[in-house]
Chain A
């Protein structure tokens, strides 16, 4: 079974976006990029520990769950917040959310 991604983004403007997408539903380029980043446990762990500047407000928060089986019993869950040091991961998640939205809006 292909890995499934469940993504929630709480934008700093108070909007919550959420959705689910399978890896094989992503465009090829994005899927390759996602494979590289989402299989790198160290990179994800570092990204999850990154923190924004102490006085920053309106921070976006990303919650990502990677499901490895259809019954959703094997998964990994990460929370990321806006910070300059985890931007590769956040940019990837923004692109994935963009794809989820395109699916939801019937644009694919």
Chain B
């Protein structure tokens, strides 16, 4: 009997990925051909979505003079567990603490991220022009996610089983740093450029926490989303920059899929080409550089990465493009032949990225 392959509307009905793979492996020639056609159609749909999200034009943020002392401007909203953004304003800049700890925590953590970018990189807010930083807590119900939507952050409460919160220092820093990427010209959210976008957000998410706690590279744990997983989940965080692939191993979540080396780079059509997976490789390169250089990671290693974001001007950058630029930026800031430049080159080599 010939299987019935489908349903339906040409734009939303795609054979499930696990079934496509099964048919390609075990189907007859006609079935395999049909599976390949459907797979191609799915890829076209994804490309259509990707093309619909062009990055902003390149614009390096103005560097503030050391004498300039702008002030942070935050606004935190309550989403009331609904989807409409931003929701109800509950704490504006300078307002007293409120009863809701989630509101206060987002307010404080947002301030930490702002001050890292201002004090270390002389950047005034996400756009470099002092924009108000908008955040919504209690977004939707049982929502296992946090995101930057192009104009603001939104944080779900988690379902209480897998995730108990998304309001955590590195996640707040991560989401805000997506805004920095966007206002720095952007990195297309797909494949290696998308993984670099994710990695930049992880790097500066971790640096935000380290800066707030005054931790050296050796003292930091380099975890992203520590404490967000539910109590019965076998894991410590969402990702580990120190040891990608080891953050969790759970009967429901599965095993952390992040690679630490190009030998294990995952080619996939899911997750926009594995942007949250392959980001483990540049994440680990940054971790190695920070360990080589010692001291506070936001100072030298962070400056090299920030300078790279401000100057790469390539929304489709590959890992090699980014790595080349980091070495160039290290040489420019610390000198040709400097230890900083040499360690930058070596860190990329250790994760298998060609320079």
Q: A residues bordering B, Cβ < 8 Å? A: 6, 8-17, 19, 44-45, 48-49, 51-61, 63, 65, 73-79, 82, 84, 87, 90-91, 94-95, 97-98, 101-102, 104-105, 107
Can you report 7 A-B residue pairs in the complex whose CB atoms are below 8 A from each other? A6-B16, A13-B225, A48-B9, A58-B175, A73-B4, A77-B15, A82-B145
Dominant SS at the A interface? mixed
B25 beta carbon closer than 8 Å to chain A: no
- Judging by beta carbons under 8 Å apart, are B11 and A55 in contact? no
- Judging by beta carbons under 8 Å apart, are A11 and B145 in contact? yes
Note all chain A residues with C-beta closer than 8 A to B11. 48-49
- Judging by beta carbons under 8 Å apart, are A104 and B7 in contact? no
CA distance A13 to B150 in the complex (A): 16
Count residues of B near A (Cβ-Cβ below 8 Å): 59
Q: B residues bordering A, Cβ < 8 Å? A: 3-4, 6-9, 11-17, 49, 52-54, 56, 82-85, 140-151, 159, 161-162, 166, 171, 175, 178, 182, 189, 197-198, 225, 232, 238-239, 251-254, 270-271, 275-277, 279
Note all chain A residues with C-beta closer than 8 A to B85. 84
- Judging by beta carbons under 8 Å apart, are A65 and B178 in contact? no
CA distance A15 to B250 in the complex (A): 11
Note all chain A residues with C-beta closer than 8 A to B270. 10, 16, 61
Note all chain B residues with C-beta closer than 8 A to A98. 142, 159, 161
CA distance A78 to B6 in the complex (A): 11
- Judging by beta carbons under 8 Å apart, are B13 and A105 in contact? no
- Judging by beta carbons under 8 Å apart, are A57 and B8 in contact? no
- Judging by beta carbons under 8 Å apart, are A87 and B140 in contact? yes
Given the interface pairs A51-B49, A98-B142, A101-B161, the reply to whether A76 lies near B225 with Cβ below 8 Å is no
CA distance A11 to B270 in the complex (A): 11
Given the interface pairs A82-B147, A84-B84, the reply to whether A14 lies near B182 with Cβ below 8 Å is no
How near does chain B come to A107, taking the closest CB pair, in angstroms? 8
- Judging by beta carbons under 8 Å apart, are A94 and B140 in contact? yes
Note all chain A residues with C-beta closer than 8 A to B140. 87, 90-91, 94
Note all chain A residues with C-beta closer than 8 A to B52. 51, 54
CA distance A45 to B10 in the complex (A): 10
- Judging by beta carbons under 8 Å apart, are B225 and A17 in contact? no
- Judging by beta carbons under 8 Å apart, are B142 and A94 in contact? yes
